[in-house]
């Protein structure tokens, strides 16, 4: 009796192993894997934008010390930073076109205001040679580069994820196993706001 059950158990175990191998080979885990990769890339985008936002108060204070008469530009930067901070960002942002648009628009406005601030610095040679300003300028330049890299990586991760959701067999797998999976939003290029501010003098 035991001898007859043992081959059946082995057959079941082999069948389960073969099915698991077949399912893993057919891409059943591609949708959640690519989704997590895109979410991770999105977190890095947010991290770099936060890094920039954290630098701005020090930059504004440093410029204010040398160029207090540029109050309007300083106010624009401060207000744009506050507006960008008010945009609530969470995991649903990447699948909600309106939330994503609001996030991108706020960041673009902050980039524009920051760019205007840095252009005004040209009028103040003593500020351009200030050690604190030079350190902030260097950090800001590095952060703008990190933002560009993080956005590029996010765009590529979203491209892979969205492609998986729209092509076969990923489309079928998502429909059956991951019905809540939604395409993610990506950044759109705008002629002016997409360029990082010029921070070299």
Alpha-carbon distances of 20 from 5, 24, 98, 110, 172, rounded to whole Å: 22, 6, 40, 50, 18
Q: Look up the CATH number of the domain holding residue 61.
A: 1.20.1440.20
Q: What angle do CA 149, 87, 161 make, to 5 degrees?
A: 45
pTM, two decimal places: 0.79
In a domain, 198, yes or no: no
Q: Is 78 within the bounds of a domain?
A: yes
Rounded to the nearest 10°, the torsion over CA 40, 102, 78, 197 is: 70
- End-to-end CA separation in angstroms for the chain: 87
> What are the residues whose beta carbons fall under 8 Å from the beta carbon of 101, sequence distance 6 or more?
185
Residue 145 maps to a domain: yes
Kindly report, residue by residue over 68-107, the tens digit of the pLDDT.
888 899 999 999 999 999 999 988 899 999 999 999 999 9
Asked if the structure places residue 22 within a domain, the reply is: no
The segments of the chain whose pLDDT lies below 70 read: 1-6, 13, 15-26, 190-201
What is the pLDDT at residue 193? Answer: 47
Tell me the pLDDT tens digit for each residue of 177-196: 999 999 999 998 765 544 55
Cα 182 to Cα 15, 32, 59, 169, distances in angstroms: 33, 11, 39, 16
Length of the chain: 201
- Residue 196: what pLDDT? 56
The per-residue pLDDT for 19 is: 62
In a domain, 195, yes or no: no
Q: Which domain holds residue 118?
A: 29-178
In a domain, 38, yes or no: yes
Residue 80 · residue 197 · CB < 8 Å: no
Judge whether 185 lies within some domain: no
pLDDT of residue 149: 97
Domain count, the chain: 1
pLDDT, position 194? 46
């Amino acid at each position: 009796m035991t001898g007859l059950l043992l081959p059946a158990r082995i057959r079941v175990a082999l069948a389960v192993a073969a099915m698991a191998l077949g399912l893993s080979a057919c891409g059943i885990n591609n949708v959640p894997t690519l989704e997590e990769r895109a979410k991770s890339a999105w977190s890095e985008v947010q991290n770099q934008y936060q890094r920039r936002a954290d630098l701005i108060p020090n930059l504004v204070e440093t410029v204010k010390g040398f160029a207090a008469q540029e109050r309007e530009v300083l106010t624009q930067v401060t207000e744009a930073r506050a507006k960008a901070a008010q945009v609530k960002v969470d995991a649903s942002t990447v699948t909600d076109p309106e939330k994503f648009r609001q996030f991108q628009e706020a960041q673009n406005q902050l980039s524009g205001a920051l760019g205007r601030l840095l252009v005004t610095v040209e009028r103040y040679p003593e500020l351009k040679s200030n050690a604190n300003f030079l350190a902030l300028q260097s950090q800001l330049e590095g952060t703008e580069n990190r933002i560009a890299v993080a956005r590029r990586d996010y765009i590529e991760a979203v491209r892979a994820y969205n492609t998986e959701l729209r092509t076969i067999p990923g489309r079928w797998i998502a429909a059956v196993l991951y019905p809540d999976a939604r395409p993610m939003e990506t950044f759109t290029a705008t002629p002016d706001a997409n360029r990082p501010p010029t921070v070299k003098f």
